[in-house]
Amino acid sequence: MRYALLVLAPPQASAVHRAAIALCEAAIAAGHALPRVFFSDAGTQVALDSTVPPGDEPSAREGWQALARNHGVELIACIGSAVRHGVLDADEAARFERPAATLAEGFTLGGLGLLVEATAAADRALTFGGGAP
Amino acid sequence: MKATLLLMNRAPYAGTLARAGLDAALAYAAFDQSVSVLFAGPGVLQLAPAQEPAAIGRKSLRRLIDSMPLYDLEAVYADSEALDRHGLAEDDLPAFVTVLDPAAQRELQDRHEHLLAF
Protein backbone atom coordinates (compact mmCIF):
# COMPACT_ATOMS: atom_id res chain seq x y z
CA MET A 1 0.00 0.00 0.00
CA ARG A 2 1.15 3.51 -0.79
CA TYR A 3 0.50 6.36 1.67
CA ALA A 4 0.51 10.15 1.41
CA LEU A 5 0.36 12.51 4.40
CA LEU A 6 -0.81 16.09 4.74
CA VAL A 7 0.22 17.81 8.00
CA LEU A 8 -1.56 21.05 8.94
CA ALA A 9 -0.94 21.36 12.69
CA PRO A 10 1.74 23.70 14.06
CA PRO A 11 4.67 21.94 15.76
CA GLN A 12 3.39 23.17 19.12
CA ALA A 13 0.61 20.59 18.65
CA SER A 14 3.31 18.08 19.46
CA ALA A 15 0.94 15.13 19.98
CA VAL A 16 -0.32 15.53 16.40
CA HIS A 17 3.23 15.50 15.03
CA ARG A 18 4.21 12.59 17.24
CA ALA A 19 1.20 10.60 16.01
CA ALA A 20 1.96 11.43 12.38
CA ILE A 21 5.63 10.40 12.72
CA ALA A 22 4.63 7.20 14.54
CA LEU A 23 2.19 6.36 11.75
CA CYS A 24 4.91 6.88 9.14
CA GLU A 25 7.34 4.64 11.02
CA ALA A 26 4.71 1.92 11.51
CA ALA A 27 3.63 2.02 7.86
CA ILE A 28 7.21 1.80 6.61
CA ALA A 29 8.02 -0.98 9.10
CA ALA A 30 5.03 -2.91 7.78
CA GLY A 31 6.42 -2.67 4.26
CA HIS A 32 4.21 0.12 2.93
CA ALA A 33 5.52 2.94 0.74
CA LEU A 34 5.40 6.46 2.13
CA PRO A 35 7.47 8.57 -0.25
CA ARG A 36 6.31 12.06 0.67
CA VAL A 37 4.88 14.12 3.54
CA PHE A 38 3.39 17.49 2.61
CA PHE A 39 3.20 20.29 5.19
CA SER A 40 0.79 23.17 4.70
CA ASP A 41 -0.58 26.15 6.63
CA ALA A 42 0.81 26.20 10.22
CA GLY A 43 2.29 22.74 9.63
CA THR A 44 5.09 24.39 7.65
CA GLN A 45 6.44 25.89 10.90
CA VAL A 46 7.93 22.51 11.75
CA ALA A 47 10.44 23.17 8.96
CA LEU A 48 11.65 26.32 10.73
CA ASP A 49 15.29 25.93 11.72
CA SER A 50 15.23 28.81 14.21
CA THR A 51 12.74 27.50 16.77
CA VAL A 52 14.10 26.29 20.10
CA PRO A 53 11.82 23.74 21.76
CA PRO A 54 12.24 23.06 25.50
CA GLY A 55 15.32 20.92 26.06
CA ASP A 56 13.46 18.14 27.85
CA GLU A 57 10.87 17.67 25.10
CA PRO A 58 11.44 15.74 21.88
CA SER A 59 11.48 18.11 18.90
CA ALA A 60 8.92 17.47 16.17
CA ARG A 61 11.37 18.88 13.62
CA GLU A 62 14.05 16.39 14.65
CA GLY A 63 11.52 13.55 14.50
CA TRP A 64 10.69 14.39 10.89
CA GLN A 65 14.35 14.86 10.00
CA ALA A 66 15.15 11.40 11.37
CA LEU A 67 12.33 9.93 9.29
CA ALA A 68 13.75 11.57 6.16
CA ARG A 69 17.28 10.46 6.98
CA ASN A 70 16.44 6.88 7.88
CA HIS A 71 13.81 6.12 5.26
CA GLY A 72 14.32 8.64 2.46
CA VAL A 73 10.90 10.21 3.03
CA GLU A 74 10.57 13.52 1.15
CA LEU A 75 9.47 16.39 3.41
CA ILE A 76 7.81 19.16 1.38
CA ALA A 77 6.66 22.45 2.94
CA CYS A 78 4.04 24.28 0.86
CA ILE A 79 5.93 27.30 -0.41
CA GLY A 80 2.94 29.67 -0.17
CA SER A 81 2.30 28.80 3.48
CA ALA A 82 5.98 28.52 4.35
CA VAL A 83 6.99 32.05 3.42
CA ARG A 84 4.04 33.44 5.42
CA HIS A 85 5.32 31.48 8.43
CA GLY A 86 8.89 32.68 8.04
CA VAL A 87 10.18 29.44 6.53
CA LEU A 88 12.53 30.55 3.75
CA ASP A 89 15.13 28.68 1.74
CA ALA A 90 18.08 30.63 0.33
CA ASP A 91 16.19 31.55 -2.86
CA GLU A 92 13.13 32.88 -1.01
CA ALA A 93 15.27 34.76 1.53
CA ALA A 94 17.01 36.50 -1.38
CA ARG A 95 13.75 37.13 -3.26
CA PHE A 96 12.04 38.75 -0.27
CA GLU A 97 15.24 40.41 0.99
CA ARG A 98 15.17 38.71 4.36
CA PRO A 99 18.35 38.42 6.42
CA ALA A 100 18.68 34.63 6.46
CA ALA A 101 17.37 31.34 5.21
CA THR A 102 15.42 29.50 7.92
CA LEU A 103 14.53 26.19 6.26
CA ALA A 104 15.75 23.23 8.30
CA GLU A 105 17.83 20.48 6.73
CA GLY A 106 15.81 17.62 5.28
CA PHE A 107 12.89 19.85 4.23
CA THR A 108 12.22 21.30 0.76
CA LEU A 109 9.85 24.08 -0.30
CA GLY A 110 7.42 23.13 -3.06
CA GLY A 111 4.08 23.96 -4.63
CA LEU A 112 0.65 22.40 -4.05
CA GLY A 113 1.18 20.34 -7.20
CA LEU A 114 3.42 18.09 -5.10
CA LEU A 115 0.50 17.40 -2.73
CA VAL A 116 -1.76 16.64 -5.70
CA GLU A 117 0.88 14.33 -7.16
CA ALA A 118 1.38 12.51 -3.83
CA THR A 119 -2.30 11.81 -3.18
CA ALA A 120 -2.96 10.92 -6.83
CA ALA A 121 -0.34 8.17 -6.55
CA ALA A 122 -1.42 7.01 -3.07
CA ASP A 123 -3.85 4.31 -1.97
CA ARG A 124 -4.40 6.13 1.33
CA ALA A 125 -4.18 9.86 2.06
CA LEU A 126 -4.22 11.03 5.68
CA THR A 127 -4.61 14.53 7.12
CA PHE A 128 -3.08 15.45 10.48
CA GLY A 129 -4.26 18.60 12.24
CA GLY A 130 -7.22 19.52 10.04
CA GLY A 131 -10.85 19.79 11.11
CA ALA A 132 -12.14 16.28 11.83
CA PRO A 133 -15.13 15.14 9.78
CA MET B 1 -7.83 8.76 -11.37
CA LYS B 2 -8.31 9.02 -7.61
CA ALA B 3 -11.38 11.01 -6.60
CA THR B 4 -10.48 13.39 -3.77
CA LEU B 5 -12.95 15.06 -1.40
CA LEU B 6 -11.76 18.16 0.44
CA LEU B 7 -13.64 18.86 3.65
CA MET B 8 -13.78 22.51 4.67
CA ASN B 9 -14.51 22.51 8.37
CA ARG B 10 -13.08 25.80 9.62
CA ALA B 11 -14.65 29.24 10.04
CA PRO B 12 -13.29 31.60 7.38
CA TYR B 13 -11.18 34.07 9.33
CA ALA B 14 -10.32 32.40 12.65
CA GLY B 15 -6.95 31.36 11.27
CA THR B 16 -5.54 30.63 7.85
CA LEU B 17 -6.61 26.99 7.51
CA ALA B 18 -9.79 27.82 5.58
CA ARG B 19 -7.76 29.68 2.98
CA ALA B 20 -5.21 26.84 2.83
CA GLY B 21 -8.05 24.39 2.12
CA LEU B 22 -9.51 26.53 -0.66
CA ASP B 23 -6.07 26.96 -2.24
CA ALA B 24 -5.62 23.19 -2.18
CA ALA B 25 -9.06 22.68 -3.79
CA LEU B 26 -8.17 25.08 -6.60
CA ALA B 27 -4.82 23.32 -7.07
CA TYR B 28 -6.53 19.92 -7.47
CA ALA B 29 -8.85 21.48 -10.04
CA ALA B 30 -6.00 23.27 -11.84
CA PHE B 31 -4.19 19.93 -12.15
CA ASP B 32 -7.33 18.38 -13.71
CA GLN B 33 -7.98 16.04 -10.80
CA SER B 34 -11.35 14.59 -9.90
CA VAL B 35 -12.05 16.79 -6.88
CA SER B 36 -15.09 17.68 -4.80
CA VAL B 37 -15.45 20.12 -1.92
CA LEU B 38 -17.77 19.74 1.07
CA PHE B 39 -18.35 22.67 3.44
CA ALA B 40 -19.36 21.42 6.88
CA GLY B 41 -19.43 22.56 10.50
CA PRO B 42 -18.28 26.17 10.93
CA GLY B 43 -16.78 25.82 7.44
CA VAL B 44 -20.18 26.70 5.93
CA LEU B 45 -19.54 30.27 7.09
CA GLN B 46 -16.99 30.48 4.26
CA LEU B 47 -20.04 30.51 1.97
CA ALA B 48 -21.76 33.45 3.67
CA PRO B 49 -22.67 36.27 1.26
CA ALA B 50 -21.43 39.86 1.50
CA GLN B 51 -18.30 39.10 3.49
CA GLU B 52 -16.38 42.29 4.25
CA PRO B 53 -13.15 41.09 5.83
CA ALA B 54 -11.15 44.12 4.66
CA ALA B 55 -11.85 45.58 8.11
CA ILE B 56 -9.64 42.86 9.61
CA GLY B 57 -7.10 43.03 6.80
CA ARG B 58 -8.20 39.84 5.06
CA LYS B 59 -9.44 39.01 1.58
CA SER B 60 -12.94 37.63 1.02
CA LEU B 61 -13.00 33.85 0.86
CA ARG B 62 -16.45 34.00 -0.71
CA ARG B 63 -14.89 35.73 -3.73
CA LEU B 64 -12.35 32.93 -3.98
CA ILE B 65 -15.16 30.35 -3.76
CA ASP B 66 -17.14 32.22 -6.43
CA SER B 67 -14.17 31.69 -8.77
CA MET B 68 -14.32 27.88 -8.49
CA PRO B 69 -16.29 27.35 -11.74
CA LEU B 70 -13.48 29.16 -13.60
CA TYR B 71 -11.31 26.18 -12.59
CA ASP B 72 -14.07 23.74 -13.66
CA LEU B 73 -14.65 23.06 -9.97
CA GLU B 74 -18.40 22.74 -9.57
CA ALA B 75 -18.69 19.58 -7.46
CA VAL B 76 -19.20 21.74 -4.40
CA TYR B 77 -21.48 20.77 -1.52
CA ALA B 78 -22.67 22.12 1.82
CA ASP B 79 -23.97 20.32 4.91
CA SER B 80 -27.67 21.12 5.42
CA GLU B 81 -27.53 20.88 9.22
CA ALA B 82 -24.52 23.19 9.48
CA LEU B 83 -26.28 25.73 7.25
CA ASP B 84 -29.29 25.67 9.59
CA ARG B 85 -27.10 25.98 12.65
CA HIS B 86 -25.30 29.01 11.24
CA GLY B 87 -28.42 30.74 9.91
CA LEU B 88 -27.61 30.34 6.22
CA ALA B 89 -30.21 29.57 3.55
CA GLU B 90 -29.70 27.97 0.16
CA ASP B 91 -30.32 31.37 -1.47
CA ASP B 92 -27.25 32.73 0.31
CA LEU B 93 -24.93 30.24 -1.41
CA PRO B 94 -23.27 30.39 -4.82
CA ALA B 95 -25.62 28.81 -7.40
CA PHE B 96 -23.21 25.92 -8.09
CA VAL B 97 -23.27 24.70 -4.46
CA THR B 98 -25.51 21.70 -3.73
CA VAL B 99 -26.95 21.24 -0.23
CA LEU B 100 -26.69 17.68 1.14
CA ASP B 101 -28.28 16.05 4.19
CA PRO B 102 -26.10 13.74 6.34
CA ALA B 103 -27.10 10.58 4.47
CA ALA B 104 -26.22 12.15 1.12
CA GLN B 105 -22.87 13.27 2.57
CA ARG B 106 -22.03 9.68 3.51
CA GLU B 107 -22.79 8.64 -0.07
CA LEU B 108 -20.59 11.49 -1.30
CA GLN B 109 -17.70 10.29 0.89
CA ASP B 110 -18.18 6.73 -0.37
CA ARG B 111 -17.71 7.95 -3.94
CA HIS B 112 -14.22 9.29 -3.13
CA GLU B 113 -10.98 7.40 -2.51
CA HIS B 114 -9.36 10.23 -0.53
CA LEU B 115 -10.64 12.66 2.08
CA LEU B 116 -8.49 15.63 3.06
CA ALA B 117 -9.87 17.54 6.05
CA PHE B 118 -9.12 21.23 6.54
| ipTM associated with this complex | 0.94
Distance CA(A122)–CA(B18), nearest Å, equals 24
Express each pLDDT in B33-64 by its tens digit: 999 999 999 999 999 998 999 999 999 999 99
**Rg, chain B, Cα only:** 13
Average pLDDT, chain B: 96
CATH at B40: 3.40.1260.10
- Residue B90: pLDDT band (50, 70, 90) is very high
Give the SS3 label for residue B61: helix
- Residue A133: pLDDT band (50, 70, 90) is low
**Rg, chain A, Cα only:** 14
Name which residue leads in pLDDT, A131 or B78: B78
| Structure confidence at residue A56 (pLDDT) | 84
What's the number of domains chain B is made of? 1
Domains of chain A: 3-128 (3.40.1260.10)
CA distance B24 to chain A (A): 7
Average pLDDT, chain A: 95
Distance CA(B56)–CA(B19), nearest Å, equals 15
Tell me, yes or no, if A80 comes closer than 8 A to chain B by beta carbon: yes
Helix or strand (DSSP H, E) at B94: none
Overall residue count recorded for chain B in this entry = 118
Report chain B residues whose CB lies below 8 A from the CB of A116.
27-28, 31, 33
Domain hosting B106: range is 3-117
Interface of B to A at Cβ within 8 Å reads 1-2, 4, 7-10, 15-17, 20-21, 23-24, 27-28, 31, 33, 40-41, 43, 109, 113-118
